[in-house]
Amino acid sequence: MSDDSNLIERFLEMLVAETGASQHTLSAYRTDLEQASMIAGGRLSSADRETLKNLPAHWRKLQNSTVARKSSSLRRFFGFLVEEGFRESDPSDALPKPALVRSLPKTLSHAEIALLFELIAEGLGREPVKSSVVRLSAILELLYGSGLRASELVGLQRSSITSDKPYLIIKGKGGKERLVPISQQARAAVHRWNEHVDPKEKWLFPSRTGHISRIRLFQIIREHAVKAGINPAKISPHVLRHAFATHLLEGGADLRALQTLLGHSDISTTQIYTHIDSARLVELVNKRHPLSQVNLAR
Protein backbone atom coordinates (compact mmCIF):
# COMPACT_ATOMS: atom_id res chain seq x y z
CA MET A 1 0.00 0.00 0.00
CA SER A 2 1.43 3.41 -1.02
CA ASP A 3 1.91 6.23 1.48
CA ASP A 4 -1.11 8.06 0.05
CA SER A 5 -3.33 4.98 0.25
CA ASN A 6 -2.21 4.21 3.78
CA LEU A 7 -2.68 7.78 5.02
CA ILE A 8 -6.06 8.14 3.33
CA GLU A 9 -7.22 4.99 5.11
CA ARG A 10 -5.95 6.32 8.45
CA PHE A 11 -7.68 9.64 7.81
CA LEU A 12 -10.99 7.90 7.08
CA GLU A 13 -10.60 5.81 10.23
CA MET A 14 -10.16 9.05 12.18
CA LEU A 15 -13.36 10.47 10.69
CA VAL A 16 -15.30 7.42 11.85
CA ALA A 17 -13.77 7.41 15.32
CA GLU A 18 -14.05 11.14 16.01
CA THR A 19 -17.11 12.26 14.06
CA GLY A 20 -19.10 9.09 13.38
CA ALA A 21 -19.05 9.91 9.66
CA SER A 22 -21.56 8.01 7.54
CA GLN A 23 -20.62 5.66 4.71
CA HIS A 24 -21.86 8.26 2.22
CA THR A 25 -19.55 10.90 3.73
CA LEU A 26 -16.60 8.49 3.80
CA SER A 27 -17.18 7.54 0.18
CA ALA A 28 -17.14 11.20 -0.88
CA TYR A 29 -13.90 11.88 1.01
CA ARG A 30 -12.28 8.75 -0.41
CA THR A 31 -13.19 9.67 -3.98
CA ASP A 32 -11.92 13.26 -3.65
CA LEU A 33 -8.63 12.21 -2.05
CA GLU A 34 -7.90 9.27 -4.37
CA GLN A 35 -8.57 11.41 -7.46
CA ALA A 36 -6.27 14.15 -6.13
CA SER A 37 -3.62 11.54 -5.33
CA MET A 38 -3.78 10.21 -8.87
CA ILE A 39 -3.32 13.73 -10.28
CA ALA A 40 -0.37 14.25 -7.90
CA GLY A 41 1.29 11.04 -9.08
CA GLY A 42 0.61 9.19 -5.84
CA ARG A 43 2.41 11.83 -3.76
CA LEU A 44 -0.49 13.87 -2.46
CA SER A 45 0.49 13.46 1.19
CA SER A 46 3.87 15.09 0.52
CA ALA A 47 2.60 17.67 -2.01
CA ASP A 48 3.71 21.31 -1.74
CA ARG A 49 1.75 24.48 -2.51
CA GLU A 50 2.86 24.52 -6.15
CA THR A 51 1.51 21.00 -6.68
CA LEU A 52 -1.81 21.94 -5.14
CA LYS A 53 -2.04 25.04 -7.32
CA ASN A 54 -2.13 22.69 -10.35
CA LEU A 55 -5.20 20.80 -9.13
CA PRO A 56 -7.82 23.42 -10.15
CA ALA A 57 -6.80 22.97 -13.79
CA HIS A 58 -8.35 19.49 -13.56
CA TRP A 59 -11.52 20.88 -11.95
CA ARG A 60 -12.36 23.54 -14.55
CA LYS A 61 -15.51 21.81 -15.82
CA LEU A 62 -16.87 21.15 -12.33
CA GLN A 63 -19.50 23.22 -10.54
CA ASN A 64 -18.39 25.61 -7.79
CA SER A 65 -20.10 23.44 -5.18
CA THR A 66 -18.09 20.38 -6.26
CA VAL A 67 -14.81 22.32 -6.31
CA ALA A 68 -15.60 23.67 -2.85
CA ARG A 69 -16.24 20.15 -1.57
CA LYS A 70 -12.99 18.79 -3.04
CA SER A 71 -11.00 21.68 -1.57
CA SER A 72 -12.64 21.11 1.81
CA SER A 73 -11.77 17.39 1.70
CA LEU A 74 -8.13 18.16 0.96
CA ARG A 75 -7.89 20.86 3.65
CA ARG A 76 -9.20 18.46 6.24
CA PHE A 77 -6.81 15.74 5.06
CA PHE A 78 -3.76 18.02 5.29
CA GLY A 79 -4.91 19.26 8.69
CA PHE A 80 -4.98 15.64 9.83
CA LEU A 81 -1.49 14.99 8.46
CA VAL A 82 -0.05 17.96 10.37
CA GLU A 83 -1.89 17.15 13.60
CA GLU A 84 -0.71 13.53 13.50
CA GLY A 85 2.87 14.49 12.69
CA PHE A 86 2.99 13.02 9.18
CA ARG A 87 4.16 16.36 7.78
CA GLU A 88 5.30 19.69 9.24
CA SER A 89 3.35 22.23 7.18
CA ASP A 90 -0.11 22.56 5.69
CA PRO A 91 -0.06 23.71 2.02
CA SER A 92 -3.85 23.72 1.59
CA ASP A 93 -4.12 27.52 1.58
CA ALA A 94 -3.12 27.20 -2.10
CA LEU A 95 -6.45 25.51 -2.87
CA PRO A 96 -9.32 27.53 -4.40
CA LYS A 97 -12.19 28.86 -2.30
CA PRO A 98 -14.98 29.34 -4.83
CA ALA A 99 -17.83 31.63 -3.87
CA LEU A 100 -21.05 29.76 -3.34
CA VAL A 101 -24.59 31.04 -3.66
CA ARG A 102 -26.44 29.17 -0.99
CA SER A 103 -29.94 28.28 -2.13
CA LEU A 104 -32.85 28.74 0.26
CA PRO A 105 -34.25 25.47 1.58
CA LYS A 106 -37.74 24.44 0.53
CA THR A 107 -40.44 24.91 3.12
CA LEU A 108 -44.22 24.76 3.47
CA SER A 109 -46.73 27.46 4.27
CA HIS A 110 -48.87 27.41 7.40
CA ALA A 111 -51.87 26.59 5.20
CA GLU A 112 -50.14 23.56 3.67
CA ILE A 113 -49.13 22.27 7.10
CA ALA A 114 -52.76 22.71 8.21
CA LEU A 115 -53.94 20.57 5.27
CA LEU A 116 -51.60 17.74 6.31
CA PHE A 117 -52.87 17.71 9.88
CA GLU A 118 -56.53 18.21 8.95
CA LEU A 119 -56.42 15.05 6.86
CA ILE A 120 -54.92 13.15 9.78
CA ALA A 121 -57.59 14.51 12.13
CA GLU A 122 -60.26 13.19 9.76
CA GLY A 123 -58.62 9.76 9.76
CA LEU A 124 -58.37 9.68 13.54
CA GLY A 125 -62.05 10.56 13.79
CA ARG A 126 -63.17 7.50 11.84
CA GLU A 127 -64.01 4.13 13.37
CA PRO A 128 -62.12 1.92 13.26
CA VAL A 129 -58.99 4.04 13.10
CA LYS A 130 -56.40 2.70 10.68
CA SER A 131 -53.03 1.85 12.18
CA SER A 132 -51.30 3.66 9.30
CA VAL A 133 -53.08 6.90 10.23
CA VAL A 134 -52.01 6.62 13.87
CA ARG A 135 -48.41 6.03 12.77
CA LEU A 136 -48.53 8.97 10.37
CA SER A 137 -49.87 11.21 13.13
CA ALA A 138 -46.87 10.38 15.33
CA ILE A 139 -44.44 10.84 12.42
CA LEU A 140 -45.73 14.29 11.44
CA GLU A 141 -45.92 15.50 15.03
CA LEU A 142 -42.24 14.63 15.50
CA LEU A 143 -40.96 15.90 12.15
CA TYR A 144 -42.82 19.21 12.11
CA GLY A 145 -43.33 19.62 15.87
CA SER A 146 -39.74 18.92 16.92
CA GLY A 147 -37.64 19.33 13.75
CA LEU A 148 -36.13 15.85 13.82
CA ARG A 149 -33.97 14.69 10.95
CA ALA A 150 -35.26 11.67 9.01
CA SER A 151 -32.39 9.51 10.29
CA GLU A 152 -33.10 10.60 13.86
CA LEU A 153 -36.80 9.78 13.58
CA VAL A 154 -36.49 6.32 12.04
CA GLY A 155 -33.85 5.41 14.64
CA LEU A 156 -36.05 6.27 17.65
CA GLN A 157 -36.55 3.48 20.15
CA ARG A 158 -39.93 2.85 21.79
CA SER A 159 -38.48 3.80 25.16
CA SER A 160 -37.25 7.18 23.87
CA ILE A 161 -40.52 9.06 24.41
CA THR A 162 -42.64 8.73 27.53
CA SER A 163 -45.80 10.56 28.58
CA ASP A 164 -44.14 12.08 31.65
CA LYS A 165 -41.01 13.43 29.93
CA PRO A 166 -41.45 16.56 27.72
CA TYR A 167 -38.19 16.03 25.88
CA LEU A 168 -35.88 13.38 24.46
CA ILE A 169 -32.14 13.11 23.97
CA ILE A 170 -31.20 12.77 20.32
CA LYS A 171 -27.83 11.62 19.00
CA GLY A 172 -27.49 13.55 15.75
CA LYS A 173 -24.74 14.11 13.18
CA GLY A 174 -21.26 13.21 14.34
CA GLY A 175 -22.67 11.45 17.39
CA LYS A 176 -23.46 14.78 19.06
CA GLU A 177 -26.32 14.70 21.56
CA ARG A 178 -28.97 17.38 21.94
CA LEU A 179 -32.13 17.85 23.97
CA VAL A 180 -35.31 18.06 21.87
CA PRO A 181 -38.56 19.32 23.42
CA ILE A 182 -41.59 17.14 22.63
CA SER A 183 -45.00 18.77 22.80
CA GLN A 184 -47.86 17.27 24.79
CA GLN A 185 -49.69 16.70 21.51
CA ALA A 186 -46.72 14.82 20.06
CA ARG A 187 -46.38 12.68 23.17
CA ALA A 188 -50.09 11.83 22.93
CA ALA A 189 -49.67 10.88 19.26
CA VAL A 190 -46.70 8.66 20.07
CA HIS A 191 -48.62 7.06 22.96
CA ARG A 192 -51.50 6.23 20.58
CA TRP A 193 -49.06 4.70 18.11
CA ASN A 194 -47.29 2.68 20.82
CA GLU A 195 -50.54 0.85 21.45
CA HIS A 196 -50.30 -0.50 17.90
CA VAL A 197 -46.68 -1.67 18.28
CA ASP A 198 -45.70 -5.05 19.69
CA PRO A 199 -44.25 -4.43 23.19
CA LYS A 200 -41.33 -6.67 22.24
CA GLU A 201 -40.30 -4.30 19.45
CA LYS A 202 -37.19 -2.21 20.03
CA TRP A 203 -37.99 0.49 17.48
CA LEU A 204 -40.76 3.08 17.62
CA PHE A 205 -41.39 2.69 13.88
CA PRO A 206 -40.50 -0.95 13.20
CA SER A 207 -40.29 -2.83 9.92
CA ARG A 208 -39.77 -6.49 9.10
CA THR A 209 -36.00 -6.12 9.24
CA GLY A 210 -35.56 -3.48 11.96
CA HIS A 211 -36.92 0.04 11.72
CA ILE A 212 -38.43 1.72 8.66
CA SER A 213 -35.89 3.16 6.25
CA ARG A 214 -35.48 6.81 5.31
CA ILE A 215 -36.67 5.92 1.82
CA ARG A 216 -39.89 4.42 3.20
CA LEU A 217 -40.39 7.47 5.41
CA PHE A 218 -40.00 9.67 2.33
CA GLN A 219 -42.64 7.60 0.52
CA ILE A 220 -45.09 7.77 3.45
CA ILE A 221 -44.83 11.58 3.61
CA ARG A 222 -45.30 12.05 -0.12
CA GLU A 223 -48.28 9.68 -0.28
CA HIS A 224 -49.95 11.72 2.44
CA ALA A 225 -49.19 14.99 0.62
CA VAL A 226 -50.95 13.73 -2.50
CA LYS A 227 -54.05 12.85 -0.47
CA ALA A 228 -53.98 16.31 1.12
CA GLY A 229 -53.83 18.01 -2.29
CA ILE A 230 -50.21 19.19 -1.95
CA ASN A 231 -47.69 18.82 -4.76
CA PRO A 232 -45.56 15.84 -3.61
CA ALA A 233 -42.48 17.43 -5.20
CA LYS A 234 -42.67 20.13 -2.54
CA ILE A 235 -42.47 17.86 0.47
CA SER A 236 -40.07 15.49 2.20
CA PRO A 237 -39.12 14.76 5.81
CA HIS A 238 -36.38 17.39 5.52
CA VAL A 239 -38.84 19.99 4.20
CA LEU A 240 -40.94 19.43 7.32
CA ARG A 241 -37.81 20.10 9.39
CA HIS A 242 -37.30 23.32 7.45
CA ALA A 243 -40.93 24.27 8.04
CA PHE A 244 -40.44 23.69 11.77
CA ALA A 245 -37.47 26.10 11.80
CA THR A 246 -39.01 28.71 9.51
CA HIS A 247 -42.30 28.91 11.38
CA LEU A 248 -40.54 29.10 14.75
CA LEU A 249 -38.44 32.01 13.48
CA GLU A 250 -41.52 33.75 12.11
CA GLY A 251 -43.08 33.35 15.53
CA GLY A 252 -40.20 35.19 17.17
CA ALA A 253 -37.81 32.37 18.12
CA ASP A 254 -34.25 33.34 18.99
CA LEU A 255 -31.66 32.24 16.42
CA ARG A 256 -29.40 30.68 19.07
CA ALA A 257 -32.32 28.71 20.48
CA LEU A 258 -33.15 27.54 16.96
CA GLN A 259 -29.53 26.45 16.46
CA THR A 260 -29.78 24.30 19.59
CA LEU A 261 -33.12 22.78 18.57
CA LEU A 262 -31.86 21.87 15.11
CA GLY A 263 -28.52 20.53 16.34
CA HIS A 264 -26.41 22.80 14.12
CA SER A 265 -22.78 22.97 15.21
CA ASP A 266 -22.29 26.30 13.40
CA ILE A 267 -24.67 29.27 13.72
CA SER A 268 -24.01 30.12 10.06
CA THR A 269 -25.99 27.01 9.10
CA THR A 270 -28.96 28.26 11.11
CA GLN A 271 -28.72 31.77 9.65
CA ILE A 272 -30.07 30.52 6.32
CA TYR A 273 -33.51 30.74 7.91
CA THR A 274 -33.14 34.49 8.41
CA HIS A 275 -32.93 34.76 4.62
CA ILE A 276 -36.23 32.91 4.29
CA ASP A 277 -37.86 35.30 6.74
CA SER A 278 -36.32 38.28 4.91
CA ALA A 279 -37.68 36.99 1.61
CA ARG A 280 -41.14 36.78 3.17
CA LEU A 281 -40.87 40.37 4.44
CA VAL A 282 -39.77 41.67 1.03
CA GLU A 283 -42.73 39.92 -0.60
CA LEU A 284 -45.02 41.44 2.02
CA VAL A 285 -43.77 44.97 1.28
CA ASN A 286 -44.03 44.49 -2.47
CA LYS A 287 -47.60 43.25 -2.24
CA ARG A 288 -49.03 45.26 0.65
CA HIS A 289 -47.26 48.63 0.75
CA PRO A 290 -49.44 51.49 -0.61
CA LEU A 291 -46.75 52.49 -3.12
CA SER A 292 -46.92 49.03 -4.69
CA GLN A 293 -50.38 49.98 -5.95
CA VAL A 294 -49.27 53.28 -7.49
CA ASN A 295 -48.18 53.52 -11.11
CA LEU A 296 -45.16 55.83 -11.03
CA ALA A 297 -44.36 55.52 -14.74
CA ARG A 298 -46.65 58.38 -15.86
Dihedral, 43, 46, 47, 48 alpha carbons, nearest 10: -160
Q: Supply the DSSP symbol for 58.
A: G
147, 58: one domain: no
What's the predicted TM-score (pTM) here?
Answer: 0.61
In a domain, 17, yes or no: yes
Instruction: Mark which of 94, 120, 153 sits at the end of a domain.
Output: 94
CATH of the domain at 47: 1.10.150.130
Domain limits at 54?
A: 3-94
In a domain, 117, yes or no: yes
Q: 149: closest CA among 118, 180, 186, 183? A: 180
234, 179: one domain: yes
In a domain, 288, yes or no: no
In a domain, 269, yes or no: no
Number of folded domains in the chain? 2
176, 80: one domain: no
In a domain, 270, yes or no: no
Instruction: Mark which of 196, 220, 238 sits at the end of a domain.
Output: 238
Which residues carry out catalysis?
149, 173, 238, 241, 264, 273
Tens-digit pLDDT string for the chain (298 aa)? 468 999 999 999 888 866 667 788 899 999 999 999 999 999 999 999 999 999 989 998 888 888 889 999 999 999 899 888 899 889 998 998 876 555 566 789 999 999 999 999 999 999 999 999 999 999 999 999 888 888 889 999 998 887 778 888 887 665 677 788 888 889 999 999 999 999 999 999 999 989 998 889 999 999 999 999 999 888 988 889 888 888 888 887 777 887 878 877 777 667 777 665 555 555 555 665 565 555 545 4
In a domain, 161, yes or no: yes
